[in-house]
Amino acid sequence: MAESDPSDTLRAAPSRQPAGGTGDGVDELLASVLQREGPRVTRMRELDSGGMGRIEVVRDRLLQREMARKVLHDELGRDTRAVRHFLREAQITAQLDHPSIVPVHDLSLTHGELEFTMKMVRGRTLTARIRALPEGPLAPEDLAELLGVILRICDALALAHAKGVLHCDIKPENIMLGDWGEVYLMDWGIARPCEPRRGPGAPEPIRISVGEEGTGMIAGTPAYMAPEQVLGEVLDPRTDVFAMGAVLYELVTRHPPYEASDVIELLQLAERGEVRLPSESFPDAGVPRSLERIIMKALARDPAERYGRVEDLRLALQQFLLGGAEFRRLRLRPGQHVVREGETGDSAYIVERGRLRVYKRFGDEERTLRTLGRGDVFGETAILAESPRTASVVALEECWLVVVSRDTLEREIDGLKAWVGVFVRTLARRFKEREEEAARTRPSRARPSSVSPHELANLVLMNLLTWGAREPPGRLVMPWDRLATELMQLTGADATELWDALQGHPELVIDLVGDRITCTDPGAVRRRLRAERR
């Protein structure tokens, strides 16, 4: 039998007190905690001081916890406007029950000092986090972390707006990052009412017992203020959306949208609402264009051009972070065209369901090039190189297509690492240049070439046999683009005729993406060509 620890024995010893009894031990225990002499809350140190008051770190003796206490400056204690601001901040913050809004514990007048206590937050401001970033473009992990902070602030604002409150002073200095991953939107001192959300499931509107502020008041931080806020006009949630755009702007450029030597100049800049693109303001930032579009939409001078709700801004940022987009789907009826030869397009298509016919006209003759089915992609040349469509595509039956627009493709490329985006765009540019060069050197003809499909297929086989690389088991492989270009220049045939000439030979497999042609069985192609010649 193992020895027992005396301390374990003491902890496990059952109470000898009868069930339901009080006993002297309980009275002594309660008295030791609840009836000590002296104040319950003791001041430990001053944490910060601002225009309205000071923030102290205090300790609650009964609950054994540290709290933050905000105290109105003595000289403002008889100022009606200052007292109203202070009381409103305490009441508003206390009613915004959200993980990213600091809880308020108590509001009191103690020894002539107006104060309220709230949760103590340990960490640093978003301003300090931005200043600690290394120079140059944001690393992907830093950008993801900072945008994650913004998403959580958007959540807090969405609740406030739903309950009928605008923050009106959103800036990095008022966003706290806790040591353990907490994110808080601080300082609701100049918050203003707005129309609360109505209908089923809407939260209870904010109740304020000290009256409302008059309209036309100008308050906030000029470097982050929307034009309507500077002009003293009616505000709504889009005013806070603008400020969130200003915070995003500072994340990627390391400075706010407006910078000036004095407050008057700042106010004039904010009134005009003219913001330079982040990519112009900080060329080395490497800001993804899709993120820049989100920021500039939030910072639109006209509120009607901004995101209507902070939830819409949050959704746009979330989609950017996920690197995905909602692709539009297109339904086609039989006989309906999706692409017409000669037109300029800006979309590619993926066949999700159904069959389509690709055809090209040669004078009065209409020639089918191929049939498309599920999983096939077409239109990619126009989306990458902005060149005219080289053929028409018509639905043979009811079809569903996934539409990939140039704008969507740009957003997806922007979501990649910077070097990948540069690489893809360079390939697209070179592809376009090569197509234009081929068009300039190709003989101009008003009708199809006199070279027969049999001769073209035979030339392809000869080139494969002479210059092709051999791969097991008995395959011949060579670059398709180079071979096609040489044969078109040699024979005067165009790409359509060359493609058609090979359709009768399933052993000749063309991989346009991989830029290669593979002959899986040279003997079979040779026998078929001999039979055709006879």
The verdict on 88 and 237 lying in the same domain is no
Instruction: Say yes or no: 115 and 127 in one domain.
Output: no
3-state secondary structure 99-124: CCCCCEEEEEEECCEEEEEEECCCEE
**Where a domain ends, among 293, 322, 351?**
322
Q: Which domain holds residue 297?
A: 123-198+220-322
Residues 238 and 337 reside in one and the same domain: no
Query: Which phi and psi (to 5°) does residue 227 adopt?
Result: -55, -40
Distance CA(255)–CA(127), nearest Å, equals: 10
Is 420 a member of any domain? Answer: no
Given 391, 414, 437, the domain boundary residue is 414
Distance between CA atoms of 211 and 196, rounded to whole angstroms? 17
Same domain, 75 and 109: yes
For residue 27, pLDDT beyond 60: yes
Q: Does some domain include residue 317?
A: yes
The enclosing domain of 386 has a CATH number of 2.60.120.10
User: In this structure, are 74 and 134 located in the same domain?
Assistant: no
Q: What is the DSSP letter of 388?
A: B
Claim to verify: residue 318 and residue 358 sit in the same structural domain = no
Cis bond upstream, residue 14 (ω within 30):
no
Q: What pLDDT does 413 receive?
A: 61
What pLDDT shows up at residue 411? 60
Active site residues: 169
Query: Is 29 part of any domain?
Result: no
**Per-residue pLDDT reduced to its tens digit, 149-182:** 999 999 999 999 999 999 999 999 999 999 889 9
Q: Whole-number mean pLDDT of the chain?
A: 83
Do 332 and 186 share a structural domain? no
Helix, strand or coil, per DSSP, at residue 34: helix
How far CA 404 is from CA of 151, 210, 293, 309, 331, in Å, comes to 27, 55, 19, 27, 14
Are residues 344 and 477 both part of a single domain? no
Q: Flag whether 302 is in a domain.
A: yes
pLDDT above 50: residue 1: no
Q: What is the pLDDT of residue 3?
A: 47
| Number of folded domains that form the chain | 4
Evaluate if residue 242 carries a pLDDT over 70. Answer: yes
pLDDT the model gives residue 239 = 96
* Domain-embedded: residue 129: yes
| Alpha-carbon gap, residue 312 to 244, rounded angstroms | 12
Domain shared by 224 and 131, yes or no: yes
Q: What is the pLDDT of residues 280-327, one digit of tens each?
A: 888 777 788 889 999 999 999 999 999 999 999 999 898 788 764 456
Name the residue with higher pLDDT: 38 or 236.
236
Report whether 290 contacts 414 (CB < 8 A). Answer: yes
Note the pLDDT tens digit of each residue in 181-210.
999 999 998 899 999 988 888 888 988 877
Band (pLDDT 50/70/90 cuts) for residue 30 is: confident
Measure the CA–CA gap between 494 and 485, rounded to whole angstroms. 9
Percent of the chain with pLDDT over 90: 35
What's the pLDDT at 186? 93
Give the integer Cα–Cα distance in Å for 481 and 375: 23
Residues 334, 318: one domain? no
pLDDT at 335 over 90: yes
Give the domain CATH number at 495.
1.10.10.10
Query: Residue 6 — very low, low, confident or very high, per pLDDT cuts 50/70/90?
Result: very low
Confidence of residue 136 (pLDDT cuts 50, 70, 90): confident
Residue 153 shares a structural domain with residue 277: yes
- CATH, residue 171: 1.10.510.10
The last residue of one of the domains, among 84, 102, 119, is 119
DSSP 6: H
Q: Which pLDDT value is given to residue 213?
A: 58
Q: Is residue 5 part of a domain?
A: no
Report DSSP state, residue 476. Answer: E
Residues 390 and 458 reside in one and the same domain: no
Torsion of CA 49, 175, 250, 139, to 10 degrees: 130
What CATH code is carried by the domain that includes residue 107?
A: 3.30.200.20
Terminal alpha carbon distance of the chain: 102
Residue bearing the bigger pLDDT, 388 or 237: 237
What phi-psi label fits residue 360: left (phi over 0), alpha (psi between -120 and 50 degrees) or beta? beta
Q: Is residue 286 part of a domain?
A: yes
Contact 411, 336 (CB under 8 A): no
pLDDT of residue 42: 85
